[in-house]
Every structure is written in C-alpha cells, then in structure tokens.
Structure 1
Amino acid sequence: MSWLELPLDTPFGLANLPYGVFSREEGDRRVGVAVGDAVLDLSALAERLGAGWAPLVAGPVLNPLLAAGPATWREVREQIGEWLGEARRADAVRRHLVPADGLRMYLPFEVADYVDFYSSRHHAENVGRMFRPDSAPLTPNWTHLPIGYHGRAGTVVVSGTEVVRPQGQRKAPDEPAPAFGPTRRLDIEAEVGFVVGVPSTLGEPVPLAAFEDHVFGACLVNDWSARDVQAWEYVPLGPFLGKSFATSVSPWIVPLAALQAARVAPPARDPRPLPYLRDEAAPWGLDLALEVRLNGHVIARPPFATMYWTAAQQLAHLTVNGASLRTGDLFASGTVSGPEPDQRGSLLELTWNGRDPLTLPGGEARTFLEDGDEVTITATAPGPGGQRIGFGEVRGRVAPSR
C-alpha cells in the first residue's frame, strides 16, 4: 500500500524504483528515482531525513552507490519503499517529487569499461546466412562460449544524445580499392546492458553464483554500427571503428531486485556448456519485451527471453581468465532478435542486408539510417502481481557527418 496515487499500469511503480541522474534547468546533478510520472529527488530527501547512506546518493553519478554492494542496495531500496508507502512520510516526500517533464537526464554512472556480446542465436544465424551462405550459419565456437568484443567506454552516451554519422574506410566487394567517407550503412542494435557495482580482484574469476553480488542492474542499449566500415575492418581482429563512435544507454538503471519476477529459463543449450557456464541451478534468462521505433513507427519487437547466453554467463566468461571488474563496468547482451522477421533487432536483419527495404507508414523506404532519422528502443518486463516493469527509453537522432 502507498499514499501515492499511481496508476496501475505505470511502468515506474513501487515494484520498480529505477535510479538515474537528473537536474532542473541549470541546477546541480542529483540522484533520482523514477516514480510514476515524477522523479524522486533522492539526494535531497536522503539528506533531509538523515539516512546513513545519504552520501552515496549525493550525486553527480551513481558510482558510490554501485560500489557499496548488495546489502546497501537492499537497505536503500527498502528505505525508499517505506518512505513512499508510509503516510506519515507523505508531506516530507511529496516536497521532493519533481515532475519528470522538463528535467535533464544524464549518463547515470561513470563508465569504467564496456564489453558487448553476441548472444542471440537468431541474430548470429541470420548474420551467418547473409555473409557465409555456403557455410554453417554459426561459427564452431558460438555454442560453446559467449562471444564478445571490448568496446570504447568514452563514447557511451545517454539517451537523447545526437549520433553523428561516422566516417571511415569502406570497400564494397565489387570495388577495387577502399574509399574514405561517411558510412552508407548506419545501423542500430537493440540490446540490454548490465551495470557492475562491486569490483573483483585481478586474477580471480567471478562464478555464476556471484552474479548478484557484483551486478547492480540493467538498462537499454543501442549499439550503433557502421556496417560498411565494420565489414572492411573486422578481419582478423573484430569490430573497431565501425562500433566505437557511439553507444547509447537509457537514463534509468533498473535494479536486479526489480527483475526477479521476470526471470525465466533460457533456451536449451546443445552441446552442454563447460562447467563454469552451467547455470541450471540458477538461470538468469529474462522475459523482457523490447520495442524498436524508427521515426515513431514500430519496426520490431525483439524478445529477450530467446537469448542463448545470459548475463550471468557473460559475466562468468568475461572474468574466467582472471580479468577484474570495476565499478561502472557496462556489458551488453548483443543484438536481441527472435525467430520471426518482425522480431529482429537490427536493420541489417530487418532488410536482409539492404535487399528488402522497410516501407514506413508515410511511404518512405529504408535499408539503413538516413540523416535526421530517430530511433527509440523501449522495454518492459513482468513484475509482481501482474505489474509491468519499465526501462524507459534509449533514443538517438542521426546527425550529418562532420
């Protein structure tokens, strides 16, 4: 129960309570919690009510709270829930509820490292069929380990940041030599990201069972991709400039505690993974429903529950060689795609590498993104009692090359 009059269908109900960083006009950056159509100024309220953990949420980023660990995360979440639920706190709390409209949102945490995985079997098979039509769709290692690449932390940006069309070398198969210029095949990748709170010790792997001891929560990710730059550069070492120009994330971090009702078993794995990746005892598949819009029109609804490798397995593989975690590490799922054509999380798949253009409701056709196009990715997950947990949105508009 709560003194707040929240609509039953709000994606930001008391079962969610995601964290972000905001400011009013030119004010200081503050830590906030999304509640209905408002943002709770947690920095101000925690100080006003004398919470012992108030310094962790003073702003301007979430990193101090992330580093504090699971016991503190539970304490803070429970305290916020009590403040929003107890009528005696209503007057004090109400003063620190700010209408969400008009607030400026910021990158909620300082990104330490960024890793992107390739964990949708449907996406990987689609890509394999496009580019290796005479071979098996999957490479021999794909069903044995979560494949990934190390991205660029410095170009992770918050939703709403414009994405400048990147330049680079590109060479089509029928061209005799590479040329330099703006990408002609700017694409999106609808993904889910996971934010590390508690660091680990160099040389010590993080086992599957320790996933919740280190990971604070989840957000939405758009891993923008210049497909023509990527195609020319990626052999033999993988993605580089075709990916590193921008990665957009949503401004709200949904705590893992809010996603317990969304946990599901992942698809069956064949062959059975090596012991450090076996997750039968505590699987971390998630039933998230993503939606991708291009210029306001829905073009795909990728289902996250179909992901072959889970975030817990990705973290275990990321650290199995002894690589250490740092507070603020971000690792993303890779493109989320389902078995149906309208469930594909990239234009590369939706247009089958440009062969089958999308027709938008206004009659415009798209193979890849044009200047001025805006892409918005949203997601929800089941919560307790039939509620829906919302992730907000990750949005970006394409600006011309500079």
Structure 2
Amino acid sequence: MSEQSPLELADGDPFGPHNLPYGVFTTADEPERRRLGVRIGNHVLDAGAAARALGSPYAGLLDQPHLGPLLAAGRSTWRDVRRALTAWVTVPAHRTAVEPLLHRLGDVTLHLPYEVADYVDFYASEHHATNVGRIFRPDGEPLTPNWKHLPIGYHGRAGTLVVSGTDVVRPSGQRKAPSDPAPVFGPSVKLDIEAEVGFLVGTPSELGSPVPLERFEDHVFGLFLLNDWSARDLQAWEYVPLGPFLGKSFATSVSPWVTPLEALEDARTAPPARDVPLLPYLDDSAEERPGGFDLHMAVAINGTVVAEPPFASMYWTAAQQLAHMTVNGASLRTGDVYASGTVSGPEKDQRGSLLELTWNGRDALELAEGKRTFLEDGDVVTMTAWAPGPDGVRVGLGEVTGRIVPSAR
C-alpha cells in the first residue's frame, strides 16, 4: 500500500488549500538559510523551490528569505501568486514536483516572515475601552470624548516585534502605586497580555497622500494574531500625558503565519452599528463590502482557555484604522504593521486582557497551577483563532505563544 500524500488532507482541515498562509522557515540541515514557505496541513511547502521546479515566473518573488519582495509587488501579483500556489498543491499533475519540497511542520524552525518597518497599535474595541474606563474612572464616563469619533492609537516599537515561541523577559522599570510616597524601580508585578490582530502592509503609499477606505485591500496584504504584552504598573505611572512607552515596548509577539486577506472573503462581516456620525473619511456606511472580520479567538494560559474574544465585535475596522493612520499624509512602507488593539466582547469570558478578566487584580483566575491575577514567571500564553471559510470549512490562523522568563535585573 502506498503512503498517503501529505497533500491529501482530512476534510475540513483549517490549513487546507483554501487558506495557504505565508511564513519563513529554516531546516536542521540548513539552519542559516531562510526560505519563504506556505503552510498546507501540517507541512510547509518551500515556495521558492516549487516555483523553480515548475518554471514559474514568480520564482524571483518566492525564492526569498522573507516576504518583502512579494509584499511590494502589489495586489494583482498577490492574487496571481496565490492562484499559482493553489494549483501547485491541488493539481495532481504537480505532485511529483511538489511533494519532495514539503517539510513536516515539526521539523522546521519558523521565523519572523517580514522585516518590520513601523508599528502602530490601536484601541478599537468598545467593550475593552469601556471596561478599562470603568476600572480606572469608576465615577466618570468610561469612554473618552474622542473615542467614537476616531480610532485612537499610538506608535510602538518596531524593533521588539518577535515571532511566536520567543521567550518574553519580564520588564523592569519605574512603578508607583497611588499609596506609595515615591516611585520604585524593579520588575513589573502586573504583567499582562492583550489579544489582538495584526495587519501587514504590502504596497507603500506616497508621503502626503492619504489612503481612503476603499483602497484598504490595495495596501494590506494579510493579517495575523498578535499579543501586545503590557506591564500595567509601568504603564500606569508613565503614560500621562504622552501615552504608552516602556510598559509596551519590551516585546510584542506575532504569529509566524500571515493569512492573506483573500483567504478570508467568507469571514467578512459588518462592524457593530455606530451611534455617533463619522466624518467622511471614516464613514464606511456606503462601502460595498463589509469592513469587519469574523475571527473567533481563544486565549490560553498554561493550556487553560481563559477567554474567547470575538473580533467581529470591534467598533473600528482595519480599513478605518488605515485611513486614519494616513489621513494626515503619513506614508506607508512595505512591512508596516498595525494592530487592532485588545479584542474584547460583551461577556466576561470574552475579555482579551487580564486587566479586564481579573478587574485589575480584584478577581483572581483559577488555573491548574493556582490563582492568577497577572502573569507569573514560567507562564505560557497561547492565542489561537479561526474564521469561517468557503463551504463551511474553517480558516485557521497560526497561533502565537510566549513564555514569561524572569527579569534580567
């Protein structure tokens, strides 16, 4: 009996030909040679080698150590390359050439698949923003006056985006509780997570030229899961008046797999109803295609699921965030990353941060290892997600995981 081909997947495999996320990998025999790969089931296809073997005109874009050249090639090329890749893994005539170029997922090392240009983080969940407001301003309005008029964001640190599996060193810095007479320096004691979705820019834009809502898909290549680690005690002391800084910049973990927007057509959904009129550059009421994505996320600590945030509930869409980010004329660069902000839903078990889940440490979570209010050294946080795909199949998003290790100081 012949061995089953790795291209013959079980029905409903979330990483089937309908998905084909991009990543970068190395093998044990060539640990220094990074290659562009595409995930199919539990294997990775060496995309560049496949392009060469099949005489593809896209070999120059795919035989690369990162996604940069493909990202910069633009939307029509993204579509054509995806069509070619789909044929390579589905057409029986290609199997002889393609099968030897498949590597078992467990046998490869995955890397950050793009060179990060800039990083911006938003604050787009009404449920998250409302919870945070109620925690810190219990006697006032939970949302700030500007919240429903524009997507609030800040510029983060591009150089500390790390690929899933990278250990996260507990950050040190200044902190001061309200009752403390003066700040102290030391490791964060309120280390938190933020379950988010990142968006990867491919096509750049010109300085001084805003990107309107309808051009979103011309510039954004795909999306991925992202964990915006947050030191809440450092953040609380430093953020007034200029916002997040050292409480966020020590690490941001991202999935090694980027799911093309084209794979998520069946996951498009309308955002929640807005109850405040929007200025024209943010008004998406007349857009032909809905701007939201129906992503079903899960957050686990040491293997125990503690939250299932629904991305479909996000008030601001990725297209609106891109439009706002560029409306002042700021240019896009290939490799820009921007994140959604913490994803939280209306229910307690849908909150995407420990700040909300424990109500700033008041209500401890029960884990197998004991109670948690914030993260302890050795804790492993894993985020996963899926989206509805064609004919009822799911589209899997690559997980993002990180382990907390003790402070270096």
Answer yes or no: is the 8 Å Cα contact 1:3–1:86 preserved in 2: no
Deviation at 1:4, TM superposition (A): 3.0
Q: Which of 366, 370, 395 is matched with 2:401 structurally?
A: 395
Structure 2: which amino acid aligns with 1:22? F
Report if aligned partners of 2:42, 2:104 keep a CA contact under 8 Å in 1: yes
Instruction: After TM superposition, give the deviation of residue 48 of structure 1 in Å.
Output: 1.8
2:115 touches 2:335 (CA, 8 Å); kept in 1?
A: yes
How far residue 3 of structure 1 moved from its aligned partner, in angstroms, is 9.5
Query: SS of the counterpart of 2:107?
Result: coil
| SS of residue matched to 1:392 | strand
- The letter of the residue matching 2:394 is R
Letter in 1 for 2:70: L
> Which aligned pairs between 1:163-182 and structure 2 lie closer than 5 A?
163-182=168-187
Distance in structure 2 (CA, Å) of the matches to 1:303 and 1:4: 31
Checking the alignment, whether the CA contact within 8 Å between 1:3 and 1:87 is kept in structure 2 is no
What residue number does 1:284 align with?
Answer: 291
Structure-1 residue corresponding to 2:158: 153
Distance 1:4 1:150 in 2: 42
Most deviating of 50-59 and 314-323: 50-59
Choose the corresponding residue for 1:115, options 111, 115, 120.
Answer: 120
TM-score scaled by structure 1? 0.98
Conservation of the 8 A alpha-carbon contact between 2:164 and 2:402: yes
Whether contact under 8 Å (2:6, 2:99) holds in the other structure is no
CA distance in 1, matches of 2:380, 2:358: 17
In structure 2, the partner of 1:188 is 193
- Listed as ranges, the gaps of 5+ residues in structure 2 are none
1:314 to 292, 316, 321: 321
**Are the counterparts in 1 of residues 257 and 398 from structure 2 also a CA contact under 8 Å?**
yes
Q: Please give the residue correspondences for 1:226-375 in structure 2 after superposition, counting only pairs within 5 Å.
A: 226-280=231-285, 281=287, 282-362=289-369, 364-375=370-381
Give the C-alpha shift of residue 9 in structure 1. 2.6
Deviation at 1:222, TM superposition (A): 0.1
Q: Which residue in the other structure is 1:20 paired with?
A: 23
Cα distance, 1:388 vs structure 2: 0.4
How many pairs align?
400
Give the SS at the match of 2:277.
Answer: coil
The TM-score with structure 2 as length reference comes to 0.97
| CA separation of 1:38 and 1:3: change in aligned 2, threshold 3 A | closer
Cα distance in 1, alignment partners of residues 374 and 64 from structure 2: 38
Instruction: Check the 8 A contact 2:298/2:305 in 1, yes or no.
Output: yes
SS of structure 1 residue aligned to 2:246:
coil
- Paired with 1:83 and 1:34, the residues of 2 have a C-alpha distance of 13
CA distance in 1, matches of 2:6, 2:313: 38
Residue 386 of structure 2: aligned partner: 380
What does 1:130-149 align with in structure 2 at a 5 Å threshold?
130-149=135-154
2:39 to 23, 34, 38: 34
CA distance in 2: counterparts of 1:161 and 1:298, whole angstroms: 20
Q: CA deviation at 1:283?
A: 2.5
Q: CA RMSD in A?
A: 1.0
Q: Tell me which amino acid in the other structure corresponds to 1:244.
A: S
Structure 1 residue identity aligned to 2:17: L
AA aligned opposite 1:390: G
Match of 2:107 among 97, 102, 108: 102
Any conservation in 1 of the 2:7–2:40 contact (CA below 8 Å)?
no
Deviation at 1:27, TM superposition (A): 4.6
Partner residue in 1 for 2:64: 59
Structure 2 distance, partners of 1:386, 1:49, is 32
- Give the match's secondary structure for 2:248: coil
Instruction: Choose from 90, 93, 100 the match for 1:85.
Output: 90
| Residue 47 (structure 1) aligned with residue 57 (structure 2) | no
Which structure 1 segments of 5+ residues have no match? none
Distance 2:263 2:160 in 1: 28
How far is the alpha carbon of 1:345 from its aligned partner?
A: 0.3
